[in-house]
Structure 1
Amino acid sequence: MRDRIKNVATELLINYGYRGLRFKDIAEQLGTTRANIHYHFGTKKNLIEEVIEDYVEGTVAEVKAIWTAENLPYVERVRRMMEFNRERYSRFNPAGKDGRPWSIISRMRLESDMLTKKSKETLRSFSETAEGYVNAALAEAIAKSEISADAPARDIVVQIVAIIDSAGSITSDAGSFDRLEHLYTAYLRVLTHAYGGEKAPHLVAVAE
């Protein structure tokens, strides 16, 4: 029952945010009582804390799989990151153009004043962890001459992590996935044309 409660809470939290999440709505969807939800989690803060922790943990696992995959060019990692975002976006925006919230990470940052200290730290850890994986992937790409050795590594990492970290907010502001896709694509084009290294022709083809 705990997992079922958290699954429903995840959907409701993404759609309606912290203030819009109600035990009554969860109970109705599960055919149970509010007392039963209180029994498992006690308070709304406790439930949301666990939902955020589970969501970030699952997202980090996906990000890790993308950025640490063996023998995968750096630009392909970026493209797979974009498609991972698109998949999650499409789940909550089946028509493709609504721009509705689809990420707990971005949604909860808008209501961070309502969160526990632990939840805030969990959200912050996502950015730091993602940056670590991207940094390692870029270092590998430079070592393999996919990216030029004179490329400004720190700037390159900061730019893509900013896109990853703000993906939910970008699509909500734009009203569709188009703006996010444009940012990912522009990042790849600038990177490959300016710092393509020995394999620049191949990388540019992938990016375009």
Structure 2
Amino acid sequence: MNTATTREQLLNHAQILIRQRGYNGFSYRDLAEHVGVKTASIHYYFPTKEDLLLEVVSDYAARVSANINAIDETLSAKEQLDRYAQLFSNAPSDQICLCGTLAADLASLSERSRQTLQAFYRVHEAWLAKVMARAQADGTLKTSGDCESDGRWLFAAFQGGLMSSRLFQNASRLNDVMASVQVERPVGQPDAQSAAA
């Protein structure tokens, strides 16, 4: 039995449709059919498609941020990044990051929507920059020495990895992102975390 409210169902299904088809790839009629309501009901909750979009992004960003903030900051940089990557690898194979999908539709979005997406990107880039700063200290990941830059390219790499994973139906493409920052150690030499244990 579905206990979600109509509003929650609309947000959930809109998110799925955007992640599968993009912002311009669905209408209120499509959404009404998925939820089993009339389009007038959608307009009651979200008078315009932009109102719906802003709520969808806000809801998605809050849930993703909660998952990121739940990653233990006392873990090594490598372990933190492994847990972060797991969030991406657990996504449905027919969908990519909501905000990554929307960034591709940028020309059709309002300035307010663009700013909301930029805020989402900045949260991830800043979190990854902190992880890379920790990596400079614990030596468990390769860094460039510029943590902010590392955070930006790493998030861009994850977004690209998600898109190519979907295109090729091969989730292992995300592993390439992780491999790009792994510290190569001679055979038999423990990593910094194992040595400290």
TM-score normalised over the length of structure 2: 0.79
Distance, in Å, in 1 between the alignment partners of 2:15 and 2:140 is 39
Letter in 1 for 2:15: T
Distance, in Å, in 2 between the alignment partners of 1:5 and 1:115 is 20
Instruction: Pick closer, same or farther for the CA change 1:160–1:204 going to 2, 3 Å.
Output: farther
| 2:16 corresponds to 1:25 | no
Distance, in Å, in 2 between the alignment partners of 1:156 and 1:203 is 20
| 2:21 corresponds to 1:16 | yes
| 2:181 corresponds to 1:193 | no
Instruction: Pick closer, same or farther for the CA change 1:165–1:63 going to 2, 3 Å.
Output: farther
Structure with higher RCO (Cα < 8 A, 6+ apart)? 1
Count residues with an aligned counterpart: 185
Structure 2 residue runs without a partner (length 5+): 1-5
RMSD over equivalenced CA pairs, Å: 2.8
The residue number in structure 2 matching 1:164 is 158
Which of the two has greater helix per residue? Answer: 1
Give yes or no for contact 1:24–1:34 (8 Å, CA) kept in 2. yes
Distance, in Å, in 2 between the alignment partners of 1:120 and 1:151 is 29
Q: 1:105 Cα shift?
A: 1.3
The residue number in structure 2 matching 1:123 is 117
Letter in 2 for 1:58: R
Distance, in Å, in 1 between the alignment partners of 2:109 and 2:160 is 19
Q: 1:28 Cα shift?
A: 2.0
Distance, in Å, in 2 between the alignment partners of 1:27 and 1:71 is 45
| 2:145 corresponds to 1:152 | yes
The residue number in structure 2 matching 1:79 is 82
Q: 1:158 Cα shift?
A: 4.0
Q: 1:115 Cα shift?
A: 1.4
Letter in 2 for 1:186: S
